[in-house]
Structure 1
């Protein structure tokens, strides 16, 4: 199975905002929702939205204003639904 990529900006601005505190929380969330076999978390150089806090990208969607304090809430409210939608669409295509 080919994994979908979930990119986490690791640029200097995101580094200053706490991306290295966000990273282990994201890995734990991917495990908690059993997505390790479907999603590959990858570091990315600057995603060019530095003024919007820590940024993540999934397909053509950008998720902004992520912080160590809100990463779980943002994941559940925004990122997880996008992942689930994509995975269900892939399932329909392959069925």
Structure 2
């Protein structure tokens, strides 16, 4: 019997403020990082309209948690130090 994996969504703000801050530079890096790391659940990357705190840089949302202050220059560091650990921790509770 196979166990189906649950798909979780990682939303990336595509609003005008995030657009001006470089979301289209962040997007391919984030796609690569999601594929590169062995995440035990399926994480689908989805675009979203404004996620709220526009003055805090590009915003990502996983479940109810917001990741802020994302820039093309720091997405890899933010992913490894903040986003990936959060996703892995949440996947253990499923």
After TM superposition, is the score higher than 0.5?
yes
Stretches of structure 2 lacking an aligned partner (at least 5 in a row): none
Normalized per residue, the structure richer in helix is 1
Distance 2:51 2:91 in 1: 24
Relative to structure 1, the CA distance from residue 25 to residue 50 in structure 2 (aligned partners, 3 Å threshold; closer, same or farther) is same
Task: Tell me whether 1:4 sits opposite 2:8 in the alignment.
Answer: yes
Distance 1:57 1:6 in 2: 6
Distance 1:37 1:81 in 2: 13
Residue of structure 1 equivalent to 2:93: 89
Give TM-score scaled by structure 1 length: 0.90
Stretches of structure 1 lacking an aligned partner (at least 5 in a row): 91-95
Check the 8 A contact 2:8/2:41 in 1, yes or no: no
Residues 22-68 of structure 1, C-alpha deviations (whole Å, 9 max, x = no match): 00000000011034961000000000110000000011111001000
Shift >6 Å, 4+ stretches: none
C-alpha RMSD of the superposition: 1.3
